[in-house]
Chains A and B, each alone.
Chain A
Amino acid sequence: MEISGALLPAIPAQGAGVGTSGQLALTVLMGVFLVAVFLALTRAEDWRTYTPLAGGGYGESGHHVRHKPEGITRWLTTVDHKDIGMLYGLYAIVAFVWGGLAVLLMRTELFTPSMDVLGAVAGGTNAGNALYNGLLTSHGITMLFLFGTPIIAAFSNYFVPLLIGADDMAFPRINAIAFWLLPPGALLIWAGFFVPGLAPAQTSWTMYTPLSAEQAGFGADLMILGLHLTGVSATMGAINFIATIFTERGKNVNWANLDIFSWTILTQSGLILFAFPLLGSALIMLLLDRNFGTAFFAVDGGSPILWQHLFWFFGHPEVYILVLPPMGIVSYVLPRFSGRKLFGFKFVVYSTLAIGVLSFGVWAHHMFSTGIDPRIRASFMAVSLAIAIPSAVKTFNWITTMWNGKLRLTAPMLFCIGFISNFIIGGVTGVFLAAIPIDLVLHDTYYVVGHFHYIVMGAIAFAVFAGLYYWYPIFTGRMYQRSLAKWHFWSTMIGTNLTFFAMLLLGYNEMPRRYSTYAFNADWAPLQTVELLHQAATLGAFILAFGQIIWLVNFVQSWYEGPEVDGDPWGLRDTSLYGREFEWHERRLQTAVTDGGEEDEVATDGGVDETAAEEAVADEQSDE
């Protein structure tokens, strides 16, 4: 009962004028009602059909065992890593849509130098600026914490146990808890937009003090709480992955033949372990500063510089938290369409570990212009340049893998190649920014925005698409429409490069970032060039949006109508590149056939062949 009764007061709370006791009674009533409806739903749809089976036990009914209820109950109660992976994926895509819409509004505003569109939407120039700032903040936070981290968790949940031959995650229930903390986290983070009376946070994703400590409006408080919650979830996930990879590997999986994707997940989880809890504490300190008069980041207290140190000590590892697993996906998928093994596997692993370690030693490159001690600055510059080396090692390994290979330009392969190309531009601009003299000129300009979007959009999102296309047959049992996938690739590739290359040029033209207008005097700066470049960036953003619509349509439609695939949709069975996850997929299909088409996950995850293992169990039992 308490569940929804507890959550509801948020809604009637608006009309603070009405008698409180009346409201409370109403709230409780609503809560009871909702719980009743909910229970009725789960019962009617699922439990009735399955009660007979529930008593049946495994022995008698053989293969016809359902391990899960059906309908919505299945998804709310699942502790199966594959289902949880799907939930993460759905969640991330919803977040991706919101983050994308937010940025489309911003780009529309930036099409012209003055405050037009958002001003009209929000009613007035100031309100328009506030809306722009709110959208900017929400876009950044959403894309990094609600899209980036969860979409990676979607892949890792689904595939790490399959790839290492484990039954499931080490802690399946904790896995489910970690996921279910995320939706409430998103509600808190977005509350500023949809709950009237709460101004959206306008702090930008970096939440620099004193702005973030002093900004009025509860939207920022709720966002901080939501971020903390999602951080707890990410940390629980990380502990689970490390424990899984260490203790749940199958008999024939060892450190020497652990796949590259699991390696990157392992490293990423290690980074999360230290980065997210530290951010969590810093967020709580910020919340206390905002509401309880503490002095953690006050100008005459711990100082805003301390916030920047803590934030970027988290923030820089965070970018590698986001990019390492996508690199793992590319390292995993690319060889399968090059007809060759990954070149220099060992060195790809070593460079992953090196990046993991070094990424904690470069945070102050975000603070070169804050006036910190020049000696500290120089050492951070050195480490930042050094981290380019392992990144380059990976890049050369990918290129060498393709060299002289038999390339097959399928959609996942195209996205892998696009990843490499964009990652090179993003990486090289990063090396420039790591050089203090250059950074002092380009800091806080669009050059920075262009740089990190070449990575987050051009690389991370591309690798995500490569993974989604490559494993689409496993997720759905069907194949996507290939021509639409190519349309998706090319519009994403062109849109990304148009948008973000224009941003690099905007940076060279000294266009500062985070401004909603740029109606400056043309005598001071090349206004015409800047305007043209902004228009190019906006055009690119819309091309991108167009491509993503194609992708969504393709995925949804193919899910229902795509041609069904066998266990080897990529024609890899006779090579050494046929992965464990497809072996499992094939086993699942076979069991489904012998079962008379029952598609419910009957195949097991473990490395053992199902029927053989069952016989073994039967033998054991008869021995007793």
Chain B
Amino acid sequence: MATEESDDHGGHHLPAVEDWPRGFGEASWWPFVTAIGGAGFYIGAALFLLGTGEQPLIGSMVGPAVFIASTVVFLVGLYGWLYHAFIVDFWGGEATEHGSPGLRMAMILFLGTEVATFGAGFIYYFFIRAGAWPPAGAELPHLVGSLVLINTALLVASSFTLHYAHVALLNDNRSRFIGLLVATLVLGTIFIGGQVYEYYEFIVGENFTITEGVFGSAFYGLTGLHGLHVTLGAVLIGIVLIRALFGQYSSERHTSVSTVSMYWHFVDVVWIFLVVVLYVGAEFTI
């Protein structure tokens, strides 16, 4: 079925030919499932809040349970969606000339929104950094140490490995491509581990928590937001890796390799900016 149908119908490109429910062309359950899962995160968070406070309205485990259930639904939806949109008919479908510019553009636009997302947090930090420093009443933790330097080096290195993985793919050097992808994923994972370790040191060791005052809010807000992004990036690289192991991608078909690597470089650049202003900038005053 796939071959005749996957293409045109009277000059009309049908968006969902291979999908569930089968055989329609403009119908897919996946967006609905994915959206319910995505909204479930918010509902889970809401229920979690209802379970907190002096007089919780519901049990404290309801929220987390809904959150976890939503994650399952979301991932199932995401899998179905990506599978049917990009994978099922990879060699015939994924965007050589048709979808590729659109996908790349979408990633650039998404990174634009990320600038605004991070922007709000940085604006807050600059707002307080411009005031009395160090902020009254609070002691800053020891920020610039070997941990953060090593972590930075790891993340920068991972940008290089990913870039050269992409280059290897373009040169049709498959084993090198996969090897460098694995290296990137390992480096990213170690970075996340390093961040967790740093949180542990600060919270348990130095008693510096998110409620610590103005700098605590900035530090955990910004590093937390960035950490979430690295985690998402690692997941994306993981998906690319799995697809690569299944034999997908070639020097002609590499859209998601290039969009994921754009995202990863972006997150890397944010980290460098963050180290400069939040770690170094807080510790040293000119």
Judge whether A177 and B31 touch: CB under 8 Å: yes
Q: Is B123 an interface residue when CB atoms closer than 8 A count as contact? A: yes
Q: Is B11 an interface residue when CB atoms closer than 8 A count as contact? A: yes
Contacts of B46 in A (CB 8 A): 188, 191, 218, 221-222, 225
Judge whether B24 and A59 touch: CB under 8 Å: no
Judge whether A302 and B127 touch: CB under 8 Å: yes
Task: Please report the C-alpha to C-alpha distance between residue A14 and residue B31 in the assembled complex, in whole angstroms.
Answer: 31
**Number of contact residues on A: which range applies?**
35 or more
Judge whether A79 and B34 touch: CB under 8 Å: no
Task: Please report the C-alpha to C-alpha distance between residue A211 and residue B23 in the assembled complex, in whole angstroms.
Answer: 54
Q: Do A69 and B21 form a contact, CB below 8 Å, given A277-B117, A293-B211?
A: yes
Task: Please report the C-alpha to C-alpha distance between residue A295 and residue B28 in the assembled complex, in whole angstroms.
Answer: 44
Q: Is B26 an interface residue when CB atoms closer than 8 A count as contact? A: yes
- Name the interface residues of A163-185: CB closer than 8 Å to any CB of B: 167-168, 170-177, 179-181, 184-185
Task: Please report the C-alpha to C-alpha distance between residue A2 and residue B67 in the assembled complex, in whole angstroms.
Answer: 11
Q: Number of contacts between A and B (CB, 8 Å)?
A: 285
Specify which of A14, A221, A239, A280 is in contact with B109 (CB 8 Å cutoff): A239
Comparing A128-136, A372-380, A604-612, the segment that makes contact with chain B is: A604-612
A519 → chain B, closest Cβ, in Å? Answer: 35
Comparing B56-64, B142-150, B160-168, the segment that makes contact with chain A is: B56-64
Q: Count the B residues whose beta carbon is within 8 Å of the partner chain — how many? A: 83
Judge whether B70 and A278 touch: CB under 8 Å: no
Judge whether B216 and A78 touch: CB under 8 Å: no
Comparing A145-153, A435-443, A613-621, the segment that makes contact with chain B is: A613-621
Judge whether B24 and A67 touch: CB under 8 Å: yes
A73 → chain B, closest Cβ, in Å? Answer: 7
Contacts of B43 in A (CB 8 A): 6-7, 10, 184, 188
A219 → chain B, closest Cβ, in Å? Answer: 11
Q: Is B198 an interface residue when CB atoms closer than 8 A count as contact? A: no
Judge whether B29 and A77 touch: CB under 8 Å: yes
Most chain A CB within a 10 A radius of its CB, from B10, B46, B106: B10
Task: Please report the C-alpha to C-alpha distance between residue A294 and residue B216 in the assembled complex, in whole angstroms.
Answer: 8
Q: Is A522 an interface residue when CB atoms closer than 8 A count as contact? A: no
Q: Is A486 an interface residue when CB atoms closer than 8 A count as contact? A: no
**Which chain A residue has the least Cβ–Cβ distance from B81?**
A173
Specify which of A79, A167, A188 is in contact with B31 (CB 8 Å cutoff): A79
Q: Do A291 and B52 form a contact, CB below 8 Å, given A10-B47, A57-B1?
A: yes
Comparing B12-20, B247-255, B273-281, the segment that makes contact with chain A is: B12-20
Judge whether A301 and B32 touch: CB under 8 Å: no
B27 → chain A, closest Cβ, in Å? Answer: 4
Specify which of B9, B33, B49, B217 is in contact with A302 (CB 8 Å cutoff): B217
**Which chain B residue has the least Cβ–Cβ distance from A178?**
B35
Judge whether A173 and B15 touch: CB under 8 Å: yes
Task: Please report the C-alpha to C-alpha distance between residue A79 and residue B115 in the assembled complex, in whole angstroms.
Answer: 29
Specify which of A167, A171, A198 is in contact with B106 (CB 8 Å cutoff): A171
**Which chain B residue has the least Cβ–Cβ distance from A612?**
B11
Contacts of A276 in B (CB 8 A): 113, 116
B216 → chain A, closest Cβ, in Å? Answer: 7
Q: Is A213 an interface residue when CB atoms closer than 8 A count as contact? A: no
Judge whether B214 and A278 touch: CB under 8 Å: no
A12 → chain B, closest Cβ, in Å? Answer: 9
Task: Please report the C-alpha to C-alpha distance between residue A197 and residue B49 in the assembled complex, in whole angstroms.
Answer: 13
Most chain B CB within a 10 A radius of its CB, from A10, A278, A295, A605: A295
Judge whether B11 and A79 touch: CB under 8 Å: no
Q: Is A504 an interface residue when CB atoms closer than 8 A count as contact? A: no
Q: Which 8 A/B pairs are nearest by Cβ-Cβ distance?
A: A54-B23, A180-B35, A613-B11, A176-B31, A281-B120, A604-B12, A184-B39, A293-B211
22 CB-based A-B contacts, threshold 8 Å: A13-B50, A16-B57, A47-B21, A59-B4, A68-B26, A68-B27, A79-B15, A168-B13, A188-B46, A198-B57, A225-B46, A229-B42, A235-B113, A239-B110, A239-B113, A240-B106, A243-B105, A276-B116, A278-B120, A295-B217, A306-B127, A611-B10
B residues bordering A, Cβ < 8 Å?
A: 1, 4-5, 8-16, 21-36, 38-40, 42-47, 49-50, 52, 56-59, 62, 65-66, 69-70, 72-73, 81, 85, 99, 101-102, 105-106, 109-110, 112-121, 123-124, 127-128, 210-211, 213-214, 216-217, 220-221, 225
